[in-house]
Amino acid sequence: MKVNEIFLSIQGEGLSSGFPTVFVRFAGCNLRCRYCDTVYAYYEGEEMTCPEIFNIIQKYGYKRVCLTGGEPLLQDGLDELLGLLKGYAVTIETNGSVRINKITMIEGHSFVMDMKAPSSGHDNDMLMENFDCLRENDEIKFVIGSRQDYEWAKSIIDSYHSKGSITFSPVYGTVSYQIIVDWILKDRLDVRFQLQLHKLIWDPSVRGV
């Protein structure tokens, strides 16, 4: 598996936001989103075995792990790593363009499926059949950078959503937080609004946090 970095931080996004979490960032992604904040993970990384990755995770002493990227579902051997992480609370951050049923999920593990809206440039690459594979403990994230993104997200929810929590997150530095919240409340949407905590705590350009 090609790993870009492994580090301990607080989870800045999602349902476990604020909790100390060990992050495993894999190298390589099949998308090139216009607002991507981890372009360094497109290519940079070193080959590691699953036991090597697991040994580093263990040393941090926390049971929350986030597998991110890049795109972790592109990695060979992910099932082996998830097997080693049985008993851990694991979130797998995937970009919505790769089949999520290619791996076997374990109790306590969940997906965060990041549906790419039009401002990403990849809305047409999303696999809507992934919605059929989601469970109640999974999360669907929509990153909103414009009114078009917001309306697109609403249409996807209406057409495909049946299970899993929904989160709306602003593209950092692009759209007003208040505007998105106003849209949500006006339309009576039952979604969770979030900010990227790590970008508020540290400089947005800092790596390894």
- Residues marked as binding for substrate? 10-12, 25, 68
Kindly report the pTM of this predicted structure: 0.93
pLDDT of residue 37: 87
- DSSP string across 27-77: S--S---TT-S-GGGTT--EE--HHHHHHHHHHH--SEEEEESS-GGGSTT
The pair of three-digit structure tokens given for residue 63, joined into one six-digit string: 């049971």
pLDDT digits (tens, 9 = 90+) for 29-63: 999 999 998 999 999 999 999 999 999 999 999 99
- Residues marked as binding for S-adenosyl-L-methionine? 35-37, 70
- Residues marked as binding for [4Fe-4S] cluster? 29, 33, 36
Interval 13-37 mean pLDDT: 94
- Residues marked as binding? 10-12, 25, 29, 33, 35-38, 68, 70
108 contacts 135 by C-beta, under 8 angstroms:
no
* DSSP secondary structure letter of residue 163: S
pLDDT digits (tens, 9 = 90+) for 173-194: 888 999 999 999 999 999 999 9
* Domains of the chain, each with CATH number or no CATH: 2-201 (3.20.20.70)
Residue 191: closest CA among 145, 148, 146, 143: 143
Q: Which residue has the higher pLDDT, 200 or 105?
A: 105
